[in-house]
Amino acid sequence: MGNVEREGIRIICQNKKARHDYEIVETYEAGIALKGTEVKSLRMGKANLKDSYARIKSGEVYLIGTHISPYPFANYNNHAPLRDRKLLLRKQEIRKLLGKTKERGLTLVPLRLYFRNGRVKVELALAKGKRLFDKRETLRRKTIEREAQRALMGAKRARRE
Contact residues for 105 (Cβ-Cβ < 8 A; gap 6+): 128
The pLDDT of residue 110:
93
DSSP code per residue over 59-75:
TEEEEES-EEPPPTT--
154 and 89, same structural domain? no
Contact status, residue 108 vs residue 126, Cβ threshold 8 Å:
yes
Distance (Å, rounded) from C-alpha 51 to C-alpha 128? 15
51 and 101, same structural domain? yes
Q: How many domains does the chain have?
A: 2
Q: Residue 11 pLDDT more than 50?
A: yes
Higher pLDDT, 45 or 1: 45
36 and 103, same structural domain? yes
107 and 86, same structural domain? yes
Residue ranges making up the domain that contains 116: 2-130
146 and 80, same structural domain? no
Q: Write the DSSP symbol of residue 112.
A: E
Summarised one tens digit per residue, pLDDT across range 75-129 is 788 888 888 999 999 999 998 888 888 877 788 999 999 999 889 999 999 888 8
Identify the CA nearest to 57 among candidates 94, 30, 26: 94
